[in-house]
Structure 1
């Protein structure tokens, strides 16, 4: 089914977050009778789990943004339940993260265009902290500034001139 193995134990006795997450997603794929290959990567202290379609596989329904977001949260909770530590895992199914990054870039482009047309500021819709971080990076690349505002599920990014 996938390229994962049993969870490895780190030198300090802790089980690796990526391996736990991969096991959880692999079980889900088995239940759904879907083929997927899993890849684990750790960058800047954050675990990224990527699921790609196996030969002849189709992850179309699972790769929808709302589904990926929900599965990511469930996977984080499963990892947290086993490790006792908060998980910042990022899940990508069938290229969903690349698609979302393109959507975020389009949102930033639209906001920048509104500012260049005379608006003092442009607010984007609420999004996760990870997505806001991507937006902040995109905004900085375009020579503008951004800040997060709001609380909880309403936290969003506001863009303005530098």
Structure 2
């Protein structure tokens, strides 16, 4: 790759990061207004991870935010979708931002990594495919990534909310 090509790639990366940071700012403004409306205290952390804006609502006492997580993250999923729509309305572009509340997704990501690693070991030992329980898109993405890193194959089947992953050699 020539130095001009490298410079162009670097410029595109800086531009993409700037767009994602702006998307995060728009989302943070929306979430701050939302927290004011529902009368909850929380700080919003903004980052860019894996080519998408990533926001986290945190509080001194995470229990205060549990209502924003809901049972198995259902409220969190809805709040994420509302935030994505608010960003799209403001920017005109579809958003892929990820939202975490009170560390729920971070904790769930760790659980899913452990499940995927155990499944990799089981598939290798048994030599046959294993189907995992139904998961949402975020959960499936985490599992697919771990399976791919381990050199195995994974494929999603079914339709939401019953979409599941099958892991094979």
TM range (shorter): 0.7 to 0.9
Map 1:107-122 onto structure 2 (within 5 A): 107-109=115-117, 111-112=119-120, 114-115=122-123, 118=126, 120-122=128-130
- Which residue pairs with 2:41 in the alignment? 35
- Which residue pairs with 1:60 in the alignment? 66
- Which residue pairs with 2:146 in the alignment? 138
1:56 and 1:106 map into 2 onto residues whose CA distance is 23
What is the TM-score normalised by the length of structure 2?
Answer: 0.72
After superposition, the CA RMSD in angstroms is 2.9
- Which residue pairs with 2:84 in the alignment? 76
Question: Which among 73, 81, 85 is matched to residue 93 of structure 2?
Answer: 85
Q: CA deviation at 1:133?
A: 2.4
2:138 and 2:151 map into 1 onto residues whose CA distance is 20
Q: Is the 8 A contact 2:136 2:160 kept in 1?
A: no
Q: CA deviation at 1:126?
A: 3.6
What is the TM-score normalised by the length of structure 1?
Answer: 0.75
Q: Which moved more, 1:60-69 or 1:113-122?
A: 113-122
1:30 and 1:74 map into 2 onto residues whose CA distance is 16
Between Structure 1 and Structure 2, the one with more helix by share is 2
Assess, with a 3 A threshold, how the Cα gap between structure 1 residues 56 and 122 changes in structure 2: closer, same or farther.
Answer: closer
Unpaired segments ≥5 residues, structure 2: 1-17
Count how many residue pairs are aligned between Structure 1 and Structure 2.
149
Unpaired segments ≥5 residues, structure 1: 1-11
